[in-house]
């Protein structure tokens, strides 16, 4: 597994999530649990998965009460089995109860993204060891940095973080510019590599001739992907430069292997973030 990126700052997000959940306070806990009561608990995995965002799980409790102690037992990016204890907590019972839902929401979401990503990566690399699995900007508003971090924990590679991160000319850009050649010429002014989305072999040829550095092969069938990759390779050999290929569009766990087998350099999958189910985790109090 490659080195993981640094976990994005999460303090303001944790604070906002707690404000959203707390309102004027945790009524049930305040009424039922004494101010001096202490407790210990575990974070339990009910299904297999991949760890991501567990430091944020811990940060929720520390923000509520710095006396809470959280010991994380699953390193970020590490796979775990059903029944695994991912963290142990001890401290004021009120803080543990009040923070439980917010902390689990973060952990379940990010572990879910990492786990789905790992499944896609494994399925793709069974057919092509060198292919990269990319995420997209199809993320939950305001959670993009965390969700892309979770993708990296799962073995994926982050694509554009923001619109200012890279040049990617898509179909509506082409319509606005008038042609592939015009769009690429205009995009060159930015001084960055230019990627062009193409929908058929004719557009692929136009993008290659226009000087694209990368081509995004959108909604190509596996058979058409193979033809496109072969065409790009022939172009690269004649031009003495390498244009990279990216497959995208409706890629599923069932189809990602066939995409990878076409020989593309990378595959972008919106489902890594927009369709990842929350992983089944629970926080259980332990009886002393």
Is residue 217 within 8 Å of residue 188, measured between CB atoms?
Answer: no
Is 26 tagged catalytic? no
List of residues 6+ apart from 74 with CB closer than 8 A: 51, 54, 80, 84, 86, 87
Catalytically annotated residue among 197, 203, 246, 265:
197
Residue 147 C-beta-side C-alpha neighbours within 13 Å: 27
83: its two tokens: 């029944």
- Catalytic residue (one of 38, 62, 78, 101): 101
Annotation marks residue 175 as catalytic? no
Catalytic residue among 19, 126, 170, 241: 170
Catalytic residue among 138, 188, 227, 231: 138
Q: For residue 120, what are the CA distances in angstroms to 41, 181, 193, 253, 271?
A: 33, 34, 27, 6, 10
> First CA to last CA across the chain, in angstroms?
38
The answer to whether residue 246 is catalytic is no
- Active-site position among 135, 218, 246, 265: 218
- The answer to whether residues 63 and 122 touch, using CB atoms and an 8 Å cutoff, is no
Spell out a b/e string for 146-172, using b for 16 or more CB atoms within 10 Å of the CB, else e.
bbbbbbbbbbbbbbbeeeeeebbbeee
Distance CA 13, CA 149 (A): 15
- The residues assigned a catalytic role are 101, 138, 170, 197, 218
């Amino acid at each position: 597994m490659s080195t993981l990126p640094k976990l994005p700052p999460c303090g303001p997000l944790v604070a906002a999530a707690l404000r959203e959940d707390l309102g004027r306070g945790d009524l049930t806990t305040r009424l039922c649990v004494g101010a001096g009561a202490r407790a210990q608990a575990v974070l339990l995995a009910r299904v297999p998965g991949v760890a991501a965002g567990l430091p944020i799980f811990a940060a929720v409790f520390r923000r509520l009460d710095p006396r809470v102690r959280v010991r994380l037992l699953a390193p970020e990016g590490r796979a775990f089995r059903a029944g695994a204890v991912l963290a142990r907590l001890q401290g004021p019972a009120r803080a543990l109860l009040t923070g439980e839902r917010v902390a689990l929401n973060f952990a379940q979401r990010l572990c879910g993204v990492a786990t789905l990503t790992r499944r896609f990566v494994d399925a793709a690399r069974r057919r092509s060891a060198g292919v990269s699995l990319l995420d997209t900007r199809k993320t939950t508003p305001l959670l993009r940095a965390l969700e892309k971090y979770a993708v990296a924990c799962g073995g994926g590679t982050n694509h554009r973080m923001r619109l200012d991160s890279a040049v990617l000319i898509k179909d509506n850009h082409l319509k606005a510019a008038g042609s592939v050649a015009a769009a690429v010429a205009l995009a060159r002014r930015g001084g960055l590599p230019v990627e062009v989305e193409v929908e058929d072999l004719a557009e692929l040829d136009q993008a290659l001739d226009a000087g694209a550095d990368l081509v995004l092969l959108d909604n190509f069938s596996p058979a058409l992907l193979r033809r496109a990759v072969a065409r790009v390779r022939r172009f690269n050999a004649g031009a003495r430069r390498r244009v990279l290929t990216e497959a995208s569009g409706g890629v599923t766990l069932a189809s990602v292997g066939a995409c990878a087998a076409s020989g593309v350099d990378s595959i972008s999958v919106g489902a890594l973030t927009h369709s990842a189910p929350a992983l089944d985790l629970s926080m259980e109090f332990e009886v002393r």
